[in-house]
Amino acid sequence: MQAPDSEVIVTERIIKPAHNLTGTLRLPGDKSISHRYAMLAGLAEGTSTFSNFSTGADCASSLGCVAVLGAKVEWLPEDGPNAGRVAVTGTGGRFSPSNAALDCGNSGSTMRIMSGLLAAQEGEFTLVGDASLSRRPMERIRKPLAQMGAQIALTDGHAPVTVRGTNLTGIDYTTPIPSAQVKTALLFAGLQAEGTTTVRESVRTRDHGELALRAFGATVERTLDSVSITGKQKLKAIEAAVPGDMSSAAFFLCAAALFPESNLVLDGLGLNPTRATLLDVLTALGATVAVLNLEEKNTELIGTVQLNPPPKGLGGTTVSGALAAQLIDELPVLAAIAPYSRNGIRIRDAKELRVKESDRIALVVQNLRAMGAEVEEFEDGLDIPGGQQLHGARIDSGGDHRIAMAFSVAALRAEGDTAILGAESAAISFPEFFDMLENVAER
């Protein structure tokens, strides 16, 4: 059973070169936080209301799943700053089994995290995805959830995922590869299990799962490298504004950094330290990044970021080890701006890029070469020398939203026009991307 293939390339978008990026933007809500809020609100008691909820198709998949499972999901009328308001009335801890398959679309977070949430629920549930999601590894969630007692069947390690809910027991688990999706799936299962579930990780991955659990009233204990939850806790509905998505902001921050005359301000941006590593990398590359108005809202940090590019252009850097894991979603756009730096960018320890929505290492290499760049490919990364001038080309996004947006950024400093094939895939995380880019790109 497979949902329709969302990879069919239907839209070509032409990106013209620009001189700089100038203006103020407010990014749509963070995708990772929106997924977690949708799922926990679906399980909680009462009606949760979110403003600035992610407008991406991925989070709509999570909302769609909880709706099929008995939660009531209602988009509230869009009214200026409250655009993206959604209300979710939860099921009070008990999802209804459904004969309909749960369609996760293109979203790995939906499939993996929902599997954890459903593992302790009564009934049988089948999660399906599009062609890209059906190729992605699911054993990483099946194995630890099975240790908790879960009954999960995969097809050759992949979707469809069939979960037969049962009583779970807490475990102490060390993740073999850093993954916030796996950690969150285990914590959401642990919330409903007997005893305590502990997840240990070698790199602290994004911690929105644990923070969202706290926001919904659960007790979660943390040490530097572990997070624990004791089961049988109940969640209460919340009202929250979702911070702007740093991984979407990354396209604008990197694009602005390419032009000495840019001046970009991003308001209401999520600044959770497990997500803000890009700001350190841009600083290391020579940009000036100012963080203003920092506040904590519903356990998450939010603030304003002002980026001023280095007057003499970007320097160079290496991203490897823990940095590579924390920057995993930003690596395609960092690679896309690397040829324009003076000293190049080297990326290692990023093998996970090969099992994202596409093989992101292969597609970055293919598309950089199409634009005339020199690049060396490694199994776990790439070396991109600096001081290169690229030319416009036809870019194959492979139906991968981050590839489509990363190469739209590379196109801004290329000679001539660039065509992004499969540009519609941007809507997976960021439907407003091209309109916002046109608003701030000065030509």
Which of the residues are catalytic? 329
Nearest residue (CB) to ligand S3P, 245 versus 396 = 245
Phi/psi region, residue 208 (left: phi>0; alpha: psi -120 to 50; beta: rest), is alpha
Q: Are 30 and 37 in contact (CB under 8 A)?
A: no
> Scanning the structure block, which residue is given the tokens 């850093």?
178
Q: Are 281 and 319 in contact (CB under 8 A)?
A: yes
**Separation between Cα atoms, residue 386 and residue 17, nearest integer Å:** 19
**Separation between Cα atoms, residue 113 and residue 109, nearest integer Å:** 6
Helix axis angle, 433-440 to 401-412, nearest 10°: 20
Cβ 136 to ligand S3P shortest distance, Å? 9
Length of the chain: 443
Cβ 14 to ligand S3P shortest distance, Å? 27
Q: Are 141 and 157 in contact (CB under 8 A)?
A: no
Residues forming contacts to ligand S3P in the complex (CB under 6 A) are 32, 35, 109, 179-181, 184, 206, 328-329, 352
Nearest residue (CB) to ligand S3P, 32 versus 198 = 32
Nearest residue (CB) to ligand S3P, 300 versus 339 = 300
Q: Which distant-in-sequence residues (6+ apart) come within 8 Å of 75 by Cβ?
A: 85, 86
- Locate 240 and state its tokens: 């929250």
Nearest residue (CB) to ligand S3P, 181 versus 262 = 181
Cβ 180 to ligand S3P shortest distance, Å? 3
DSSP state of 395: E
Cβ 108 to ligand S3P shortest distance, Å? 6
Query: Is omega for the bond preceding 273 within 30 degrees of 0, making it cis?
Result: no
Cβ 25 to ligand S3P shortest distance, Å? 21
Return the closest-CA partner of residue 190 out of 160, 223, 226: 226
Cβ 204 to ligand S3P shortest distance, Å? 12
**Separation between Cα atoms, residue 349 and residue 335, nearest integer Å:** 14
Nearest residue (CB) to ligand S3P, 185 versus 235 = 185
- Locate 30 and state its tokens: 């963070």
Nearest residue (CB) to ligand S3P, 33 versus 382 = 33
